[in-house]
């Protein structure tokens, strides 16, 4: 765990990304997307081809690969097929990342306002929360890629989440695992925690993380440091 970097404002709300923060769904959405490309186009896509589009929402996750392959992706039909496959794939397999449930529940008990801000669509958000055992009621707001015109790395989703929990963005902690998300958090004006569940620390620092931890279990001791004065 690293030493906290100074921040001018007390933290009053925590805005969580979902994938790579609360759960590691990346292998499963990749599995589902690869199966979609097999069914629709009869092609084999490698997991590495999706990596540049992690954290940018499924439209870009699928669309970026399709563009590079020259494939005529149909949205939203192909995305819907991917989600149908995904919800089957995660059953009994998707788990909360270390410390995720404890961090969220402790933050709730300490009185922070909480939101999930994910570039994924609502169907994926609800499926993930149900599978990892985090009741939606723990969060004051749930903002998805369907709710914003511009996806990460644009700041829109975090600005909307801050508004939804009634907290100025400069008093929000954004928790992210991907460069796209950290760039969005910094552009919004939030304090940013990067988790190395998907990318390494230098990559997260370069993207704008004020601090870095392995996971939310590693970051749990920070909660007392962030308590409102």
Cis peptide before 180 (omega within 30 of 0): no
CATH number of residue 200's parent domain: 3.40.50.1000
Report if residue 4 sits inside a domain.
no
Residues 106 and 212 in one domain: yes
Q: What is the mean pLDDT of residues 187-200?
A: 95
pLDDT value of position 3: 47
Q: Is the pLDDT of residue 170 over 50?
A: yes
Please give the pLDDT value at position 2.
52
Residue 184 included in any domain: yes
Residue 90 confidence (pLDDT):
97
Residue 7 maps to a domain: no
Domain shared by 62 and 101, yes or no: no
Q: Taking residues 18-22, what's their average pLDDT? A: 94
Q: Which long-range contacts (CB under 8 A, 24 or more apart) does 109-113 make?
A: 110/223, 110/227, 111/228, 112/11, 112/12, 112/13, 112/14, 112/226, 113/12, 113/13, 113/14, 113/140, 113/165, 113/166, 113/167
pLDDT digits (tens, 9 = 90+) for 90-120: 999 999 999 999 999 999 999 999 999 998 8
Q: Quote the CA–CA distance of 45 and 157 in Å, as a whole number.
A: 29
Domain co-membership, 154 together with 82: no
Distances (CA, A) of 209 to 17, 109, 118, 124, 229: 14, 26, 17, 26, 23
Q: What pLDDT digit, counting tens, does each position of 43-93 carry?
A: 999 999 998 888 677 889 999 999 999 999 999 999 999 999 999 999 999
The answer to whether residues 177 and 116 belong to one domain is yes
| Arithmetic mean of pLDDT, 146-163 | 93
Domain presence at residue 70: yes
Distance CA 182, CA 178 (A): 6
The string of pLDDT tens digits covering residues 139-150 is: 999 999 889 989
Pick the range with the lowest mean pLDDT from 28-37, 96-105, 122-131, 145-154. Answer: 145-154
Q: Which of 35, 54, 89 finishes a domain?
A: 89
* Domain co-membership, 75 together with 187: no
Whether 1 maps to a domain, the answer reads no
Of 60, 89, 118, the residue that ends a domain is 89
Long-range contacts of 72-78, Cβ-Cβ distance < 8 Å, separation of 24 or more:
78/36, 78/40
Same domain assignment for residues 80 and 105: no
Which residues belong to the active site?
17, 19
In this predicted structure, what is the pLDDT of residue 4?
53
Say how many domains are in the chain: 2
Pick the last residue of a domain from 89, 112, 140. 89
Can you give the residue range of the structural domain that contains 170?
Answer: 13-24+96-224
């Amino acid at each position: 765990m690293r030493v906290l970097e100074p921040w001018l404002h007390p933290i009053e709300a925590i805005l969580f990304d979902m994938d790579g923060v609360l759960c590691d769904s990346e292998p499963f959405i990749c599995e589902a997307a690869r199966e979609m490309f097999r069914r629709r186009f009869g092609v084999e896509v490698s997991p590495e081809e999706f990596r540049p589009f992690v954290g940018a929402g499924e439209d870009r996750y699928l669309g970026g690969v399709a563009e590079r392959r020259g494939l005529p992706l149909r949205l939203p039909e192909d995305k819907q097929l991917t989600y149908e496959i995904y919800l089957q794939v995660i059953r009994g397999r998707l788990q909360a990342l270390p410390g995720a449930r404890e961090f969220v529940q402790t933050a709730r008990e300490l009185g922070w306002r909480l939101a999930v801000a994910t570039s994924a669509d609502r169907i994926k958000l609800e499926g993930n929360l149900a599978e990892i055992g985090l009741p939606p009621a723990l969060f004051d707001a749930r903002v998805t890629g369907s709710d914003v015109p511009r996806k990460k790395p644009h700041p829109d989703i975090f600005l909307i989440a801050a508004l939804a929990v009634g907290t100025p963005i400069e008093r929000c902690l954004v928790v992210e695992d991907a460069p796209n998300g950290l760039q969005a958090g910094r552009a919004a004006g939030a304090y940013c925690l990067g988790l190395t569940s998907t990318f390494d620390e230098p990559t997260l620092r370069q993207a704008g993380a004020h601090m870095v931890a392995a996971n939310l279990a590693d970051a749990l001791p920070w909660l007392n440091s962030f308590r409102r004065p």
